[in-house]
Structure 1
Amino acid sequence: MFILVIYIFHFWLLHAFFNCFFVSKKHQSFSLKIIAWACFFIVQLFISSQITYPLILFTFNCFVTICLCRLLYLAPLKKLLFLSITFCATGMLIEVIVSLVMQIIGDNINSGSILGAVLSKLVLLAFVHSISIIQTQNSRRSPALSSWILLLFMTISSIVIIHTLYLFNQTSSFLVFQVLSFLSIILLLFINVGFFLFDDKLSKYTDMKVENSILSQQFKHYEALRAAKEEQINFFNREKHNLKNQLLSIRAFALKADSSAIINFINSLLKDPDFGLTPFSVCENLIFDAIISSKVNVAKNNKIKYTWDIDVPHCLPFNDTDLCVLLGNAIENSLEACLNAKSTNKFVHIAAHYKQNCLYMHIENTYTHQLVKSGRKFFSTKRTSRLHGYGLPSIQHVVNKYDGVLLTETKNNLFELKIILYPT
């Protein structure tokens, strides 16, 4: 019975580990997933348990784990192979370390194999939980110190309690005490699993709250741009209609050979600052056109050279909201850096091209102030924004969603942001 619990716990750990990196295949039925896990259980119980040579056991477990992951998850083959081998190697390494520690403190390994299995799975759970915390930190500026402290406390406390219960069980001959020890150990395993699930849900809720706040701001910005674009088009249509009447007037003057009236009429038109204006357009893609063109006046008013090289089609295989978050945050960061710069040669250049089913973006801007490093990859100069620190992590979130690439470089007071997105 206890062995069955250990196997189920191990399978859940494997499931939680792969969920940190991959997405489950949604088209598969629930019954097919149950059959896959059942086959995996049978193989582990009746084949893996009979293999005694460590290298062969490790190779076999890696092969079975790779097959299971390939069947249930959407994942690049190289990444799948690497992570499957990593999980199996980490599990085996933890078992060896736990066995050595038990030998050092004087426990009998032969009679205490169940204890070793439980402690190994607890440490493996701490490893999977650590990966989840690290992934959470990658999307935030500040490290989740409280999560690390709670994880360390829960793992050490559980190990001490389980070891104490095991020793108590060994010295007691009463069946009721042995049953209570067994139930207590099972309960501790559930408590640790519950803590992992709670912390994971809390992290996802926090990330979702931040993302919703950013998306709300981007949506309002996009709606304002859409309204301005619509007003500009309406103005153009009105001017087009007025031009017809104006041409009729000029033709009437021409038929009367009244050249002075024609000249005076044309001069009056030229004095109108809105005469001859046409809708300003960057490219045929509405998202790129609206966001880039909305920043022209900001750059002009602050004497920032604002240029672009855009070659993207009308429709892209990416979510419009994701493009708004990506392009909006990137341009706002660049303009803000120029606004804070003391140089007279301030510029922002935006390049975007869609070729071979990939979207490539390269944004450059000048800066003169000290950049603040956030994490390992990003730089932020924001000081007073209510969403301080979430701009570049939001860009990274979109890039990760499409398995893309994000690079930042700084050289000679020039900041470069390079992004590649692949359609899913």
Structure 2
Amino acid sequence: MNELFPEIPRLYTALAEWLACIVYISILKRRLSGWKLMGFASGALIVQSVFLVVTRDLPIIFWVPSMLVAIGMMFLFIYICCDITPTEAGYFSVKAFVVAELVASLQWQVHFYLWSGESSHKLFEIVLLVVMYGLVFFVIWLLEKRHIPEEGKLNIRQRELWSTVVIGAAVFFISNLSFVTARTPFSGQYAQEILNIRTLVDLGGYAILYAYHIQLNELRVRHELEAMQNILQNQYSQYQQSKESIELINYKYHDLKNQIIALRAEEDPEKRNAYLNEMEDGIKAFEAQNKTGNKVLDTLLASKHMYCIKNGITLTCVADGTLLNEMDVIDICTIFGNALDNAIEYEMQIENEEKRLIHVSLFTQKGFLMIRFENYFEGDLKLEGDLPVTTKKDKSYHGYGLKSIRYTVQKYDGVVNVGHKNNWFELKVLIPKKS
């Protein structure tokens, strides 16, 4: 190690690494909270500090392995406290390590500038540490919080994790090269020069990781928007196809009416009339079914109802479709199409056909338009944020149907809620009525 100036105190480094983890834990969705979080965080700080102090005087050959162990402890700290995958924990651990290196280096550079070659008063040294750590970590927290989703997840993949690891490793290697040897083109020979190199390299490394993080977030948002747009388009296409099919069915039933009139003129009136009465009752039942007062909703419900009949699902609906007359056609397709598709998809998994039940209701309540979708549900409902946890293998494509419903409802200043009660899953849409 370079002997021109004292190294950063290991306790300062441990505190920087711990605070860097706290920054990301405070932003991400947490698994621990309250006293459990405080207790575990306190234990993590003690373990991190003891480890770095104990390994301070080890030969230089153990320096890199010791840093890897320190990063491993940061990984465990973040992973245990946050409800994220190991890949995501690794991604944020690398970011936290680079942040810790930057803050610790910057603070020590200012310290060395103020008291170079002089003994500092311990109180002033602690005040400088608290002020700089507090200020810089707060700024980093503000920057990071802007680009973390509300649910605290980015769906980091292995490729993105390894890209971050490579960047972090390169930053650590170049920033600490002068501490190992001065005989390279990237090393410094004087104390202030070495500190400048380390701080600037760490700052550049964090800037690269921050820009990469923003890019990942923008790609995620773009992917979600594209997926929701595809869902919107698919729902609207289904509506157009269903409309054509329903029109053909209506024409067919109209022809049947004419056939009935012709048949009534025939002989054998008793049997013929009984048969014809039965046909008329069926026609009336069809005509009365899904006549809500809104043609778009009628078409969607008729299409879904036919599919449900084919698959042994009982779909019932009590709706005043006139309440939707001011709503855009695509928005009606999005809300009802996605909600019914999700309900139908789940009911298909229920073995007992008698329990395959879906109910839709549309009404007004206390100045709100209420749309409620209910379907029979077995098991416990687990939520991830405000969305049900998926059972699909590809979790990265989970929830876009509900997200598109929520996005559409927000256009009308409404809200979406999901819940579970007495073996019924419930999706409620509340939209304030226009005065």
> Normalization by structure 1: what TM-score?
0.52
Following the alignment from structure 2 to structure 1, what is the Cα–Cα distance between the partners of residues 256 and 375?
37
8 Å CA contact retained: 1:98, 1:119: no
Q: 1:172 and 1:332, CA in 2 relative to 1: closer, same or farther beyond 3 A? A: closer
From 129, 132, 149, the counterpart of 1:134: 149
8 Å CA contact retained: 1:283, 1:289: yes
3-state SS of paired residue (2:340): helix
8 Å CA contact retained: 1:286, 1:314: no
From 322, 337, 340, the counterpart of 1:328: 337
8 Å CA contact retained: 2:164, 2:209: no
Per the TM alignment, residue 205 of structure 1 is displaced from its structure 2 partner at its CA by: 2.5
Deviates more, 1:280-289 or 1:313-322: 313-322
From 91, 107, 110, the counterpart of 2:110: 107
From 297, 307, 320, the counterpart of 1:311: 320
Following the alignment from structure 1 to structure 2, what is the Cα–Cα distance between the partners of residues 388 and 187?
34
Following the alignment from structure 1 to structure 2, what is the Cα–Cα distance between the partners of residues 147 and 421?
40
Q: 1:191 and 1:335, CA in 2 relative to 1: closer, same or farther beyond 3 A? A: closer
Q: 5 Å matches for 1:277-356? A: 278=287, 280-313=289-322, 315-343=324-352, 344-354=354-364
Q: 1:291 and 1:385, CA in 2 relative to 1: closer, same or farther beyond 3 A? A: farther
Deviation track 1:23-58 (CA, whole Å, cap 9, x = no partner) reads xxxxxxxxxxxxxxxxxxxxxxxxxxxxxxxxxxxx
Q: 1:260 and 1:199, CA in 2 relative to 1: closer, same or farther beyond 3 A? A: closer
Per the TM alignment, residue 350 of structure 1 is displaced from its structure 2 partner at its CA by: 1.0
From 202, 219, 227, the counterpart of 1:202: 219
3-state SS of paired residue (1:132): coil
Code of the residue aligned with 1:410 in structure 2: it is H
Which structure ranks higher in relative contact order (CA pairs < 8 Å, sequence separation ≥ 6)?
2
Code of the residue aligned with 1:351 in structure 2: it is S
Code of the residue aligned with 2:243 in structure 1: it is R
Q: Please list every run of 5 or more consecutive structure 2 residues that lacks an aligned counterpart in the other structure.
A: 1-99, 116-127, 179-186
Per the TM alignment, residue 332 of structure 1 is displaced from its structure 2 partner at its CA by: 2.2
Following the alignment from structure 1 to structure 2, what is the Cα–Cα distance between the partners of residues 192 and 388?
25
Number of the residue aligned with 1:3: none
Q: 5 Å matches for 1:146-157? A: none
Code of the residue aligned with 1:347 in structure 2: it is L
Per the TM alignment, residue 234 of structure 1 is displaced from its structure 2 partner at its CA by: 3.9
Following the alignment from structure 2 to structure 1, what is the Cα–Cα distance between the partners of residues 170 and 141?
12
From 405, 414, 417, the counterpart of 1:404: 414
Deviation track 1:278-327 (CA, whole Å, cap 9, x = no partner) reads 47433122332222222223333454442222124265554433332222
| Aligned-pair identity (%) | 17
> Normalization by structure 2: what TM-score?
0.51
Q: Please list every run of 5 or more consecutive structure 1 residues that lacks an aligned counterpart in the other structure.
A: 1-96, 254-258
- Provide the aligned length of Structure 1 versus Structure 2: 310
Q: Does 1:222 align with 2:209?
A: no
Q: Does 1:124 align with 2:139?
A: yes
Following the alignment from structure 2 to structure 1, what is the Cα–Cα distance between the partners of residues 225 and 287?
41
8 Å CA contact retained: 1:396, 1:406: yes
Following the alignment from structure 2 to structure 1, what is the Cα–Cα distance between the partners of residues 358 and 412?
26
From 413, 416, 421, the counterpart of 2:426: 416
> Root-mean-square deviation (CA), in Å?
5.5
Following the alignment from structure 1 to structure 2, what is the Cα–Cα distance between the partners of residues 319 and 164?
62
Q: 1:374 and 1:311, CA in 2 relative to 1: closer, same or farther beyond 3 A? A: same
